[in-house]
Structure 1
Amino acid sequence: MPRSQPSRIRIPRIGVDAPTTALGLDRHQQIAVPPPEQPKTAGWYKLGPSPGEAGTAVVVGHVDSRVTGRAVFFRLGALKKGDTIEVLRKDGKKARFTVDGVARYPKSKVPAEVYQHTDKAQLRVITCGGAYDKAAKAYKDNIVVFATLAAGRAT
């Protein structure tokens, strides 16, 4: 599919139907996340491929919020191989992905394969997980969903 900014992400199995916003890097040169006041919004890493385009597109979002409780990807870790993720794009097309697997990694040891470029249209959906470090005010791990554009599923 040609490049086009995503506008929504839908993940039926876990009840996600959320708007997306374009994000770059934060001050630590890490992929930025949506602002805390937007816990129900997912963020697309605009410096990489768009969902449906060849390569590894990345969408991130909060697991929870001090203000609202559950956030957009609260149940992300419940996805299973074969589940569907649909990304609506500003060009009016939909990119439908099939989940290949879900993994949890310590934030300090996320493997390169998560972001590795590929000639296939792939998607990574990422949120926080694992134990919460109260002193650091952050979760220790990341939950990563690996998904591939379903054959014939770009409409």
Structure 2
Amino acid sequence: MARLARLALVVPAVLTLLTGCSSAADTAAPRPSTSASSSATTVGTPTPTPTPAPSRGAPTEVTIPSIGISGPLMELGLNADGTVEVPPPEKGMTAGWYVGGPAPGEAGPAVIIGHNSTRFGKAVFHGLHKIAKGADITVSNTRGKPVHFTVTDTESVSKGAFPTQKVYGPTDTHALRLITCDGDFDAQGHPLKNLIVYATRA
């Protein structure tokens, strides 16, 4: 019962951390750890469980030729409070792969999070809102075998209604989700929405 109670507390925290961007008003954004902490996803809620090494190699770069996006990838795990890490604002042109899920190209939902903009300016996913269905997303990896995905859908959602299960929940397909911020900013300069791009292996 104690474990279930802890998991229940993780969910709202996860929803608030999946921003994928920070505004120019952010002046003290914490730098998350870049270590590849072992974790996995269960029905949309990241929980600390062992994850096997990627059979296809760890992803190193994401490229979307149709909208001119290309950037290296860092590893993202969980913060001490169980929330998902995001790339630090000073690395705005670097996206991050959530190591608690599968590597891009493996069965299940691989998740890549990137900033739209930070206090340092435009970031790696600044133009992600221009992506169209059918667009190609290429993820390179350490084994030198790029994996191609085809965009199937996009969704702009309120942070308070982030579809955790839809993004992180189990799936039989070789799926990819890209996440960044979207929409207007609140009075504190924080984005109100997330943009989610859904894709499947080509």
Q: TM-score, structure 1 length as denominator?
A: 0.90
Which of these residues, 38, 59, 77, is aligned with residue 112 of structure 2? 59
Q: What residue number does 1:96 align with?
A: 148
Residue ranges of structure 1 left out of the alignment (5+ in a row): 151-155
Conserved in 1, the CA contact under 8 Å of 2:75 and 2:96? yes
Q: Are 1:5 and 2:50 an aligned pair? A: no
Matches of 2:63 and 2:99 in 1, distance apart?
19
Q: Report how far residue 30 of structure 1 moved.
A: 2.5
Q: What residue number does 1:113 align with?
A: 166
Matches of 2:145 and 2:113 in 1, distance apart?
21
Which of these residues, 72, 75, 98, is aligned with residue 22 of structure 1? 75
Encode CA deviations 1:83-133: one digit per residue, 9 max, x unaligned: 000000111111100000110011111112121211211000000111112
Matches of 1:134 and 1:87 in 2, distance apart?
36
- Judging changes above 3 Å, is the alpha-carbon distance between structure 1 residues 138 and 28 closer, same or farther for their aligned structure 2 residues? farther
Encode CA deviations 1:50-75: one digit per residue, 9 max, x unaligned: 000000000000000112x2110011
- Count of residues in Structure 1 that have an aligned counterpart in Structure 2: 148
Conserved in 1, the CA contact under 8 Å of 2:56 and 2:141? no
Matches of 1:35 and 1:77 in 2, distance apart?
21
User: Would you identify which runs of 4 or more consecutive aligned residues in structure 1 move more than 3 Å?
Assistant: none
Q: Report how far residue 134 of structure 1 moved.
A: 3.6
Larger strand fraction of residues: 1
Q: Give the structure with higher Rg (CA).
A: 2
Q: Report how far residue 10 of structure 1 moved.
A: 0.3
Q: Are 1:46 and 2:133 an aligned pair? A: no
Q: Are 1:133 and 2:191 an aligned pair? A: no
Larger helix fraction of residues: 2
